[in-house]
Amino acid sequence: MGEKVLMRGNEALCESAIIAGCRFYFGYPITPQNEVPAYMARRLPEVNGCFLQAESELSAINMVWGASVAGKRVMTSSSSPGISLMQEGISYLAGAELPAVIVNIMRGGPGLGSIGPSQSDYFQATRGGGHGDYRTIVLAPQSVQEIADIMIDAFDLADIYRNPVVVLGDGVIGQMTEPLVLPKPSTRTLPRNDWVLDGASGRDARVVMSLRLSPPGALETHNLHLKEKFCEMERNEVRYEEYELSDAQLVIVAFGTAARVARTCMQKARGLGMKVGLLRPVTLWPFCADALGALAEQRRVKAFLTVEMNLGQMLEDVRLAVLGRKDIFFYGRTGGSVPDEDELFGKITEVFS
């Protein structure tokens, strides 16, 4: 294991991206992720990469397309309003099957909202905020170590599935400083890049596009092909973590910072004899519906408690997984506020009483 270093989440994710071989970053400043462009502006030139501050998030995501089409590992980052501006671009990337990593360090919305930490872009990220039938893998780290590890995975997944991957952190994850061990580069074998544009030398000319006009039905065929990829992701890429679920009567479902607060409360509740467990989705899409469904089947599980930094978005996925078999409670804080240990603990006690 490497040496422990102390880094901010926003900086750790950058260093990890560089370890993953990312050499191109296009982005535009926005709180609370400004450390990302600042770090990349310093570090990328040192590794012969290219940092470019775009004139807007719109330009940024399309510059990402440019570098991606060239076969390079590339990323962008932003926060909620900026990510909304990228929705057209993300839809295009998914349509054209281009890999890219998009980091969203979420803040309070809607609109300009606030710069406080939030998880209220869950719907946007998991349902495709852009137009058309597509999905993006959504990874939700809970710590500085995990955001670093996840970046390595994110670039691989983007390449394996030729699809944009969203890393969805809340403002706390981006701003928090914790010790971590920087990850090693991935050793996975990746599919051949036989679609990359580098000039039609010694091969047929290639085109990368999302438009499918002819023959009639071409787009439908393409969409069905995409759907198969999405099904494959659902089969292979669901990631989650379990905490004390073996005897749990109440299952908390939470991700990111909310999951950490939930863990503290869980420990406290366990201390008082309440059998609380936690299931923490790491991929928000594909979602761990099977794991939740299996829990819902267990007699000892009495209820679920979804904890989010929003008004109840993942809640829908929990409902879809539990399908009415057990009660589902919700505790959420929104608009840049974080879950309060005392309140959440109160909620847990309430459920048990």
Partner 1 sequence: MKAVYERPRTLRDTPMHYCPGCGHSIIHKLLSQSIDELGIRERTIVVAPVGCSVLIYNYLDCDGSEAAHGRAQAVATGLKRARPECVVVSYQGDGDLAAIGTAETIHAANRGEKFSVIFVNNAIYGMTGGQMAPTTLAGQPTKTTPFGRDPKEIGPPLRMCELLSGLEAPAYIERVSVHDVKNVLRTKKAIKKALKNQIEGAGYSFVEVLSMCPTNWGMTTRQASSWIEENMIPYYPLGVYKDRGKERNAK
Partner 2 sequence: MTQKVIIAGFGGQGVILAGKLLAYTGMVEGKNVSHIPSYGVEMRGGTANCAVIISDQEIASPLVVHPTSLIVLNKPSLLKFEDSVTPSGRILVNESLIDREVKRKDVVVLYVPANKIAEEAGNGRSSNMVMIGAWLAVTGLFSQKTIKESLPRVVSKRNLRYNEINERAIDMGYEYAKNAG
Ligand X SMILES: Cc1ncc(C[n+]2csc(CCOP(=O)(O)OP(=O)(O)O)c2C)c(N)n1
| Residues near partner 2, by CB under 8 A | 4, 6, 31-32, 114-117, 171-172, 175-179, 213-216, 218, 257, 260-261, 263-267, 336, 338-342
221 binds, among its own copies, partner 2, partner 1, none (CB under 5 to 8 A by kind): its own copies
Q: Which of 112, 190, 196, 207 binds its own copies (CB under 8 A)?
A: 112
Would you state the structure tokens that stand for residue 217, as one six-digit string?
A: 């039905």
Choosing from 12, 13, 14, 96, the residue that interacts with partner 1 (CB under 8 A) is 96
Q: Sheet with 303-308: list strands edge to edge.
A: 240-243, 276-281, 250-254, 303-308, 327-332
Which of its own copies, partner 2, ligand X, none is residue 236 near (CB under 5 to 8 Å by kind)?
none
Compute the distance between CA of residue 123 and CA of residue 100 in angstroms, rounded to an integer: 20
With CB under 8 A as the contact rule, the residue among 5, 21, 29, 127 that binds partner 1 is 29
User: Looking at 62, 68, 80, 175, which residue binds its own copies (CB under 8 A)?
Assistant: 80
Pick 82 or 281: Cβ nearer ligand X: 82
Handedness of CA 79, 21, 144, 289 (dihedral sign): positive
Residue (82 or 277) nearer to its own copies, CB? 82
User: Are the beta carbons of 53 and 27 closer than 8 angstroms?
Assistant: yes
The least CB distance from residue 225 to partner 2, in Å, is: 18
CB 125 within 8 A of CB 285: yes
DSSP state string for 215-271: STTHHHHHHHHHHHHHHHHHHH---EEEES-TT-SEEEEE-HHHHHHHHHHHHHHHH
Report, in Å, the least distance between residue 78 CB and partner 1.
Answer: 11
CB of 24 within 8 A of CB of 73? yes
Q: What is the CA radius of gyration of the chain?
A: 21
Amino acid residing at 27: G
Piece of 30-38, 131-139, 147-155, 188-196 that binds its own copies (CB under 8 A): 131-139
Q: Phi, psi (5° rounding) for residue 208? A: -115, 125
Residues making contact with ligand X (CB under 6 A)? 28-30, 57, 81-82, 85
Residues making contact with partner 1 (CB under 8 A)? 24, 26, 28-31, 34, 37-38, 41-42, 45, 50-60, 62-72, 74, 81, 88-89, 92, 96, 111-112, 197-202, 205-211, 213
